[in-house]
Structure 1
Amino acid sequence: MWKLTRPDNQHDKLTRDNLLDLQDHHLVRIELAREDQRQVWVLTKRGHGEAKKLLEPKDIRVSALREEKYDPDTGQLLGVSYGDHAAAVTTTAAELHRAGIGHRLGFATEIPHRLTDGYVQRADLVVRAQAAGVPVMLLEIDRRTEDAHDLVHKLRRCWQWGRLLAPDTDKHTVNLVRSQPGAIEDVSHEKRLWRRVYPPTGREGLVPLAFVFADTTEAKVDNTVKVLKEAGRRYWAPRRYGTYYREAIMAKDYSQAVPVVVTTLEQLQEHGADAAVWRRLGRKDEQTLTDALDNPDGDALYHRQYARAEAEDERRRAAEREARRPVCKRYGTKFTDQRWEETTAHRTAWKAGDLSVCGDCHTDDVARKKAAVEAARLQAATPPEPEPEPEHDQEPGKLRRLFRRRG
């Protein structure tokens, strides 16, 4: 509480005095003292009830009550080992808050996420920091008490929860997803359950998940991250876009992936949560949190590359079409689009005349044919000229001899 409420104070006297006052009123109790002499305080049943009255009307959820349970034989308080983990969770929240990532009332712990099989996956910490560019992020704090493959299972469950439909989804979509599980990938995130619980992330993909390792060695962290990267690839890795311009599109599709970042509590304490201490699975270098969550090779790049590829394809197809454009056999003139259409379309080719000539030549041909037809019509309509009269200067006798010889 001291680190979360007074992150800049070097001493915890003010926080301790307040806790002692709450203890006098039976609202809090000491659960255990850690090796570094720091004490872990928790709410009593009475204090838990008072906290719910104070916070829940303001839409601030209160974590589950830590009941006092004692071993019947030894009388020792049970469950105290949880304290080190709880302290690591609170310290992580304090470091985020100190870096300006989240208001101290914007943190929640042990938030349940129920799957269809009834299993409840709880997030150690949930932060909502819209002003810092992190509208929502789930955090798992690991003190290396869990096997690396257990963390992979947590990642898988977060991925599965992000694929659940919202309760008010239309019946057609519900039936489609039930019959074809892969169909959920075509369903908008606005129709999924996680969007009824958390705000939009402002980025592609599902709710981000951060693994914060504490009280461990660098070698163990590297080994765990390696397992997460390889065994959990299906859940965090982006895919290639399915597009006609596959060779030209290098952008990646993050729409169905869980963005996973990792760091250590020691790095947060030494450099600050706003420093380049976060490593995104699939990337080599450490980045600031917002840079690690951003997808510079994602949706925005895809739209730019697709637009360029489409324009280039349009230019290529135009060039290929131009190369196929017919040329007039008489004068070498290229066909216009209209003439090309006339000579190739079934509905117009039968009346396009000589298919090897351009539009101007075809127009001249049509004009000549019309002129020839008109000339023939006029000639047919003109009456024949009368035959010339026989000549009268010939002698009658000669004519008679002529006719007599023929007879």
Structure 2
Amino acid sequence: MWKLTRPDNRHDKLTRDTLLDLQDHHLVRIELVREDQRQVWVLTKRGHGEAKKLLEPKGIRVSALREEKYDPVTGELLGASYDDHSAAVTTTAAELHRVGIGHRFGFATEIPHRLAGGYVQRADLVVRAREAGVPVLLLEIDRRTEDAHELVTKLRRYWEWGRLLAPDAHRLTVDLVRSRPDAIEDVGHEKRLWRRVYPPTGREGLVPLAFVFADTTAAKVDNTVKVIEEAGRRYWAPRRYETYYQEAITAKDYSQAVPVVVTTLEQLQEHGADTAVWRRLGRKDEQSLTDALDNPDGDALYRRQHARAKAEDERRRAAEREARRPVCKRCGRKFTDQRWEETTARTAWKAGDLSVCGTCHADDVARQEAAAEAARLEAAAPPAPEDDPEPGRRRGWFRRRP
């Protein structure tokens, strides 16, 4: 609590004095003392009620009440299960908050994600830090108490949860996905369940997931990450884009993948969560959290490469078409697009001499029309009178006597 509420304070005196004051008012109590002598404080029943009145109207969820129960024989406090794992979760939140990743009320623990079969996958920690470039991040804190393949199973469950449809999905869409599960990949993320729970991430893919390892060795972390990377490839790895310009596209399709980053609590404490201590699965180097979550080889690169490939393909096609363009056998000029189309269309029989260009064809048509007009005029003209051998002499069988 000290690190989470007062990240800049070097000493916990202010937090300790506040807790002691709350204890005097029976709002908090000490549940246990850890081996390093740090005390674990929890809300009393009265304090829990006061916290709900204060926080829930503001939309802040309050954890379940930890009731105070004692062994009837020994009198020892029961249910003091706030262990090192819980401390690691709280410390992780504090380290994120200390560098400005998440408001103190922007953290939530043990958030359930219900799968289609009824199983509930609970995230150790959920961070919402839009101002820091991380609208949402799910975190699993592991002190190497779980087998690496169990972490792969968790990754698979988050991937499956990200593929669930929203409750208000159209009936036809629901039927299609039930009959063919891969059809969910053609359904936009805004129509899926996760978008009803979390805001858009601002990046391709599903809700990002972070594995934070604590209280373990670097060798164990490396071995665990290798297992997650290999056995969980289907869930975190991007795919190739299905495109006509396959050879020209090196960008990767992250739209159906869970972005997974890994780090250790010790690195967060030593260097800070805002430094290059996060490694994205599939990459070699460590980066800052936002850089690790970004996809420089993703959709933005695809759009640029696709535009270049399309433009180059259009230039190539245009050059090939130009090379096939017919040349007039009479004047040597190339056909225009209109004349080319006239000579290759189904009505090419109307186009006259197919070996000449539009200009020469127009000349032919003009000559033909002129000849036809001359013939028409000649046919319409009256016949000329025959020559009279005796001009002025009347013609006929009888002549008047003088």
- What TM-score do you get using the length of structure 2 for normalisation? 0.92
- 1:81-120 correspondence runs (5 A): 82-120=82-120
Q: C-alpha displacement at 1:50, in angstroms?
A: 2.4
Q: C-alpha displacement at 1:49, in angstroms?
A: 2.6
CA shift in 2, pair 1:385/1:30, >3 Å: same
Larger displacement relative to structure 2 (219-228 or 9-18) = 9-18
- 1:332-351 correspondence runs (5 A): 332-346=332-346, 348-351=347-350
Question: Residue by residue, what CA displacement relative to the aligned partner does 1:251-275 show, whole Å, maximum 9, x if unpaired?
Answer: 1111111111100000000000101
CA shift in 2, pair 1:236/1:73, >3 Å: farther
Give the conservation status (yes or no) of the 8 Å contact 1:40–1:83.
Answer: no
Matched, 1:321 2:321: yes
Question: Residue by residue, what CA displacement relative to the aligned partner does 1:131-153 show, whole Å, maximum 9, x if unpaired?
Answer: 11111111111111111111111
Where 1:244 maps in the other structure, the secondary structure is coil
Aligned to 1:364: 363
User: What is the identity, as a one-letter code, of the residue corresponding to 2:136?
Assistant: V
Take 1:96 and 1:219, find their aligned partners in 2: how far apart are those partners?
A: 24
Q: C-alpha displacement at 1:373, in angstroms?
A: 2.4
Aligned to 2:15: 15
Give the conservation status (yes or no) of the 8 Å contact 1:40–1:87.
Answer: no
Larger displacement relative to structure 2 (190-199 or 37-46) = 37-46
Q: C-alpha displacement at 1:30, in angstroms?
A: 2.4
Aligned to 1:151: 151
Aligned to 1:301: 301
Give the conservation status (yes or no) of the 8 Å contact 1:99–1:273.
Answer: yes
Larger displacement relative to structure 2 (381-390 or 48-57) = 381-390
Take 1:157 and 1:136, find their aligned partners in 2: how far apart are those partners?
A: 17
User: What is the identity, as a one-letter code, of the residue corresponding to 1:60?
Assistant: I
Q: C-alpha displacement at 1:375, in angstroms?
A: 3.2
- 1:381-400 correspondence runs (5 A): 381-382=380-381
User: What is the identity, as a one-letter code, of the residue corresponding to 1:352?
Assistant: A
Give the conservation status (yes or no) of the 8 Å contact 1:96–1:273.
Answer: yes
Aligned residues: percent identity?
A: 87
Take 2:45 and 2:150, find their aligned partners in 1: how far apart are those partners?
A: 32
Q: C-alpha displacement at 1:172, in angstroms?
A: 2.0
Where 1:350 maps in the other structure, the secondary structure is helix
Take 1:188 and 1:24, find their aligned partners in 2: how far apart are those partners?
A: 54
Where 1:108 maps in the other structure, the secondary structure is strand
- 1:63-82 correspondence runs (5 A): 63-68=63-68, 77=77, 80=80, 82=82
Take 2:69 and 2:217, find their aligned partners in 1: how far apart are those partners?
A: 33
Give the conservation status (yes or no) of the 8 Å contact 1:276–1:288.
Answer: yes
Where 1:105 maps in the other structure, the secondary structure is coil
User: What is the identity, as a one-letter code, of the residue corresponding to 2:26?
Assistant: H
CA shift in 2, pair 1:22/1:146, >3 Å: same
Matched, 1:160 2:160: yes
Take 2:184 and 2:327, find their aligned partners in 1: how far apart are those partners?
A: 54
Question: Residue by residue, what CA displacement relative to the aligned partner does 1:328-377 show, whole Å, maximum 9, x if unpaired?
Answer: 1112110001101111111x312100111111111111122222223333
Aligned to 1:292: 292
User: What is the identity, as a one-letter code, of the residue corresponding to 1:371?
Assistant: A
User: What is the identity, as a one-letter code, of the residue corresponding to 2:93?
Assistant: A
CA shift in 2, pair 1:73/1:148, >3 Å: farther
Q: C-alpha displacement at 1:182, in angstroms?
A: 1.2
Q: RMSD of aligned C-alpha atoms?
A: 2.0
Take 1:181 and 1:191, find their aligned partners in 2: how far apart are those partners?
A: 15
Q: C-alpha displacement at 1:277, in angstroms?
A: 0.4
- 1:156-235 correspondence runs (5 A): 156-235=156-235
User: What is the identity, as a one-letter code, of the residue corresponding to 1:226?
Assistant: K
CA shift in 2, pair 1:225/1:78, >3 Å: farther
Aligned to 2:400: none
Take 2:79 and 2:85, find their aligned partners in 1: how far apart are those partners?
A: 11
Give the conservation status (yes or no) of the 8 Å contact 1:126–1:137.
Answer: yes
Larger displacement relative to structure 2 (376-385 or 360-369) = 376-385
- What TM-score do you get using the length of structure 1 for normalisation? 0.90
Where 2:10 maps in the other structure, the secondary structure is coil
Take 1:197 and 1:390, find their aligned partners in 2: how far apart are those partners?
A: 118
Aligned to 2:375: 376
Aligned to 2:399: none
CA shift in 2, pair 1:74/1:118, >3 Å: farther
Aligned to 1:353: 352
Aligned to 1:404: none
CA shift in 2, pair 1:222/1:76, >3 Å: farther
Q: C-alpha displacement at 1:124, in angstroms?
A: 0.7
Larger displacement relative to structure 2 (308-317 or 41-50) = 41-50
Matched, 1:310 2:310: yes
Residue segments in structure 1 that go unaligned for 5+ positions in a row: 392-407
Aligned to 2:134: 134
Aligned residues: 390
Residue segments in structure 2 that go unaligned for 5+ positions in a row: 391-402
- 1:26-41 correspondence runs (5 A): 26-41=26-41
Where 1:172 maps in the other structure, the secondary structure is helix
Give the conservation status (yes or no) of the 8 Å contact 1:63–1:110.
Answer: no
Give the conservation status (yes or no) of the 8 Å contact 1:206–1:257.
Answer: yes
Take 2:388 and 2:11, find their aligned partners in 1: how far apart are those partners?
A: 146
Take 2:281 and 2:71, find their aligned partners in 1: how far apart are those partners?
A: 43
Give the conservation status (yes or no) of the 8 Å contact 1:31–1:83.
Answer: no
